[in-house]
A = this chain, B = another copy of it.
Amino acid sequence: MSSRKGHLRLGAFLYPTGHHIAAWRHPDSRVDAGRNFRHYVQLAQAAEAAKFDLIFLADGAGTRGDNVDFLSRTAHSYVAQFEPLTLLSALAAVTERIGLVGTASTTFNEPYHIARKFASLDHISGGRAGWNLVTSSSAHEAKNFNFDEHLAHARRYERAVEFAEVVEGLWDSWDDEAFVRDKASGRYFDPSKRHVLDHRGEFFNVRGPLNVERSPQGRPVVVQAGSSEAGKALAARTAEVIFTAQQTLDDAVAFYADVKGRMAAYGREPDDLKIMPGVMPIVGATESEAREKFDALQALIDPAVGLALVQTVTGGFDLSGYPLDGPIPELPETNASKSRQLLALELARRENLTIRELYLRIAGARGHWQLVGTPEQIVDALEARFVNHGADGYNVMPALLPNSLDDFIRLVLPELRRRGLFRSEYEGRTLRENLGLKQPVSRYALESVTSS
């Protein structure tokens, strides 16, 4: 039995054919996964039957790369797949209890659209929506939205902070009991329970109110992923779940203490935020069986793909002149996603990895934590981070779908449950209830308490 109270939370991070970069080439992959709706229905229903808190979808509003021949060999499903909000909405209709968390960028969207779509999803799903708030660092996305280059890192975060303020303000447009809909008198809503935001800021002027009723969770759950200084500050202020990428227990514990320690400054309790590192578990009944599964995927990585992957996590720095079996060169400071870049470089330096060794190390989880072993070994590692306050749960990144999700459910969950680390039934009806997050109080209700 765990020495920390409560149990950990689990997300199923669904990536079309799986998170391993070569998953689509595996004989068992559903190679058309990115546009195979039945595939996602099966995955979501399996995760729900296993009592996962949520499914999680990443996003990018563009394909990557200009060298089309290279791209056609290195691309996997991200080049063409479902858009997350349409997919999650469709999955809402065929699931009942699992949370539905989708990524939407603050860089190339308008806050009114985002507030509205996630509030609508929260109604459709009966209180299961979550918004993964990200900023977009890719020039390939920027060029689809009237920009020639991406926004600088600092400006993206300033915009994201204001964007989140507007979205949360719009979600408070209507009090819980605003819609009286009295057929006899003809009064549709109570005017005193409607609030006009009238936001005027540096990036946005948004009047409101939102044209969606206050949603079952009060507000959809807000998720974030950034681990940079600006990302941590934004998360401490806004996020209710963080999806992180620390490689070691020490780093995870330090990150956890750092972010939770910042929250008091914004009037928040540590428990108002759940830290859920990404983890790619490859599990076998024996250690050698797990290793064989992993090696089978690693063997499918084309060296050109591996090199491209290292370039992605190092901010696009051109490594083509460097020998695959030599060290990673010194890299210039770039504008790319700094935390991911630093994590990869720290890993390479810590272990003196060559370019090839680094790509083999990060190919599966793309910079996230990977675990290869028996159920006991994997649960030992998950438990250690949990009891040492390095994690409140995990966002599970199946290497190959559906196999790795099935393996996790069949082999790892029973061991987690045996140790009291995971639920056997949902505690609540909403994502917020299952995550153990409070129902948020409207800013206008807070005002009236303060002034009374």
With a CB–CB cut-off of 8 A, which chain B residues contact A90? 89-90, 92-93, 124
A110: chain B residues within 8 A (beta carbon): 108, 145-146
Count, chain A residues at interface, CB 8 A: 81
Chain B residues with CB below 8 A from A212, complex form: 35, 80-83
* Residue in B181, B190, B194 whose beta carbon sits within 8 Å of that of A32 in the complex: B181
Taken together as a complex, chains A and B put the C-alpha atoms of A305 and B185 apart, in Å, by 13
Nearest residue (CB) in B for A211 is B63
Residues of B near A26 (CB, < 8 A) are 183
Among candidates B25, B85, B108, residue contacting A117 with C-beta atoms closer than 8 Å:
B85
Docked complex: A66-91 residues within 8 A CB-CB of B: 68-69, 71-73, 75-76, 78-83, 85-87, 89-91
B89 pairs with A86, CB closer than 8 A:
yes
CB-based nearest B residue for A209: B63
The yes or no answer to A298 lying at the interface (CB within 8 A) is no
- Look across to chain B and name the residue whose beta carbon is closest to the beta carbon of A174: B80
CA distance A213 to B145 in the complex (A): 19
Asked if A204 is at the interface (CB within 8 A of a chain B CB), the reply is yes
- CB-CB < 8 A to A119: which residues of B? 83
What copy number does this chain have within its complex? 2
Cα A61 to Cα B87 with chains together (Å)? 21
A317 contacts partner chain B, Cβ-Cβ < 8 Å:
no
A420 contacts B by Cβ under 8 Å: no
Whether A79 touches B188, Cβ cut-off 8 Å, given contacts A204-B146, A213-B35, is yes
Q: Are A189 and B116 in contact (CB under 8 A)?
A: no
A97 sits at the interface (CB 8 A): no
Interface hub of A90, A92, A147 (most chain B Cβ within 10 A): A90
Residues of A whose CB lies within 8 Å of any CB of B are: 24-27, 29, 31-32, 34-35, 37, 41, 60-63, 68-69, 71-73, 75-76, 78-83, 85-87, 89-94, 108-110, 112-113, 116-117, 119-121, 123-124, 126, 140, 143-148, 174, 179, 181, 183, 186-191, 194, 204-213, 300, 302, 305
- In addition to A83-B119, A83-B120, 15 A-B residue pairs with Cβ atoms within 8 Å of each other are A34-B213, A35-B212, A61-B112, A61-B113, A62-B207, A63-B209, A71-B191, A73-B187, A82-B120, A83-B212, A90-B90, A92-B93, A108-B112, A109-B113, A146-B204
